[in-house]
Amino acid sequence: MSRVVILVIDGFGVGAMPDAGAPRPGDAAADTLGHLLDDHRAATGRRLQLPVLEALGLGLAHPHPELAPVPSLPVAAGRAALGYPGADTYAGHQTMMGADFSRVTAVRLAGHLDEVATALRASGHHADRLAGRSLLVVDGRALVHDNLEADPGVNWNVSARLEDLSFAEIVSIAQVVRSVAPVARVIAVGGHADAPLESFVRDGDLGTVGLDTPASGFYRNGGLAVRHLGAPLDHTRRLPELAAAADIPVTLVGKAADVLACDAAICCPAVSTAEVLGLTLDAVRQAPDTALVVSNVQETDLAGHQQDASRYAAVLRRTDAVLGALLPLLASPGDRLIITGDHGNDPVIGHAGHTREYVPVLIHRPEATGFDRLPTARTLADVGATAADALGLRAAALGNGTSLLRPVGGSAGAPR
């Protein structure tokens, strides 16, 4: 019997991977957590207080003078490489659930404008370039454009103001784009902007052109609506479907509900951190002795896109506080709380894109004694495989990944 909670803190990197500077040379210095801690110290003169994350071994995942070097709870802690190209939420979550995303196609919309426009017109829409640039205006209200927040060419967006189109209409346009798109994800985005969207179009890296979503006001004006339309997947080899096939209840919370889209799961989409964490607590309280909950705290990622370190710190503190309420609910032998990220999003790096960083892997094991230092995992798929093992599933049935844990009773790490 095991209740497993995977809590993904979106954009929670712990230092640049060796190839982080490939799209943007400055990203070789990316360090979301380290820069966040340094910025908070510089701005306030105090440590950023994250007592539960430190007790769970955050200082093992990222040795930093502001973090306790030794966990005080029974954990296994380390970090993971991403295991997929670029730095992307959709690819990160799919990889974590066992999908093989090592060969994601990354292409600019510019090379497919005619194909996309033809598909939209065949569906009854008007589709034209915006002032001759490499993006489309659909029905005079929606933009089809490169996503400027992930690595260049990984995702395309369909964006519109909710005053101009309903979110269902935005999703309908995105579904047409998805039908011809070779990229990992087409993202439907609706929100409330400070001005017409055309005024926020800008050039991105490597010849991309798109909407500067953070500048538009979508993230700060409330009412943000997002739907992730992913590339075709072998769903039979993902963790949620394997669990559901074994009659294990599955709950997906927050952005995970949109990104993972499992028909057999209870899906609880939400954006605000308070709602996401509240739904996560409710899911665990209501869970039977064996269950899987995957939850995503999105507002850390939004703060990174906005280059707002103080907001990022506030969301992280709020998350840490709720972890203190979550741990007592996962106190039975075999229960697991796995805290990780999907990529980095350094809030002081100087641009609004994701950063290609290692992410923490903190695994609480209430029946263990002491702590283990984990070696660096080669891929986020190892997180899903670890959860599968805890649930009594065959990790080998996943499309990818190897469990990170030895059986309980192995040697614990010694304090440094």
pLDDT of residue 408: 44
Mean pLDDT of 359-367: 97
Q: Quick: pLDDT tens for 29-47.
A: 999 999 999 999 999 999 9
For the CA atoms of 117, 120, 124, 125, the dihedral, rounded to the nearest 10 degrees, stands at -70
pLDDT of residue 293: 98
Q: Among 317, 310, 221, 220, which residue's Cα sits nearest to residue 274? A: 317
pLDDT of residue 411: 37
Q: Is the pLDDT of residue 410 over 70?
A: no
Q: Quick: pLDDT tens for 85-122.
A: 889 898 899 999 998 876 667 899 999 999 999 999 99
CB 291 within 8 A of CB 251: yes
pLDDT of residue 236: 85
3-state secondary structure 61-85: HCCCCCCCCCCCCCEEEEEECCCCC
Strands 155-161 and 185-191 turn out to be parallel
Mean pLDDT of 157-180: 97
Q: How far apart are CA 265 and CA 255, in angstroms?
A: 14
- Residue 297: helix, strand or coil by DSSP? strand
Q: Residues 272, 7, 310, 206: is their CA dihedral positive or negative?
A: negative
Domain ranges of the chain: 3-103+234-397, 109-230
Q: Quick: pLDDT tens for 53-82.
A: 999 999 999 999 999 999 999 999 999 999
Mean pLDDT of 131-142: 97
Q: How far apart are CA 125 and CA 175, in angstroms?
A: 13
The domain defined by 3-103+234-397 folds into: Alkaline Phosphatase, subunit A (3.40.720)
Other Cβ atoms less than 10 A from the Cβ of 397: the count is: 17
CB 338 within 8 A of CB 7: yes
Q: What strand order describes the sheet that includes 142-146?
A: 127-129, 136-138, 142-146, 155-161, 185-191, 225-230
CB 80 within 8 A of CB 383: yes
CB 322 within 8 A of CB 332: no
CB 200 within 8 A of CB 236: no
Q: Kindly state the tokens that stand for 174.
A: 């995105």
pLDDT of residue 261: 83
